[in-house]
Amino acid sequence: MPHSLEKQFTSLYPWAEKKDIHTAYAPYRVCPLGAHIDHQYGIITGFALDKGVSLRFLVSNDGAVNLDSMNFPEHVSFDLQDIGERQGNWGDYAKGAAYALSQNYELKNGIKGVIKGTLPIGGLSSSAAVVLCYINALCLANGIELSASELIKTALFA
């Protein structure tokens, strides 16, 4: 995990106990054709890189999602019981992940944390990596276990 992510997380949540801190990670992927065919069940499968997106987070028992990004300036906050409309910012990926997961599972616990991508934004399936981080974090927070197939289907719906 990049040192700067840990430093930013600690500055925002200095009271957090180490045993309560979690990390979700998803690698960036390359599609050989330059299209997101693999997201749409196509016959071309991408391959993962050793760079990706990391989300350092705590479970929030009040159903709130509070996120900061080291790649984008604004703070994102919403309640899982009232996800709300798209805002046209990076937080829409978190909202999409929560909405997609809530279609099949009850989400009571939210998350609070910091997310960071290790490469510049754009390409390399960065949006898919971000969505996977949020889905995995919300699953952990709510005791949900998804198979690889269920994770992919949920991410496609986000």
The pLDDT tens digits along the chain (158 residues) read: 446 999 999 999 999 999 999 999 887 766 655 555 445 455 555 666 677 889 999 999 999 999 999 989 899 999 999 998 888 899 999 999 999 999 999 999 999 999 998 866 655 567 888 899 999 999 999 999 999 889 888 988 87
Residue numbers of the domain that contains 120: 3-157
> Structural domain tally of the chain?
1
Buried b (16+ CB within 10 A) or exposed e, 107-135: bebbbbbbbbbbeeeeebbbbbbbbbbbb
CATH value at residue 78: 3.30.230.10
pLDDT at 120: 61
Is there a contact between 113 and 57 (Cβ–Cβ < 8 Å)? yes
pLDDT at 122: 59
pLDDT at 118: 80
Which single residue is written with the structure tokens 């499968």? 45
Q: Indicate the burial class of 40 (C-beta count within 10 angstroms; 0-12, 13-18, 19 or more).
A: exposed
- 129, two tokens: 């990596």
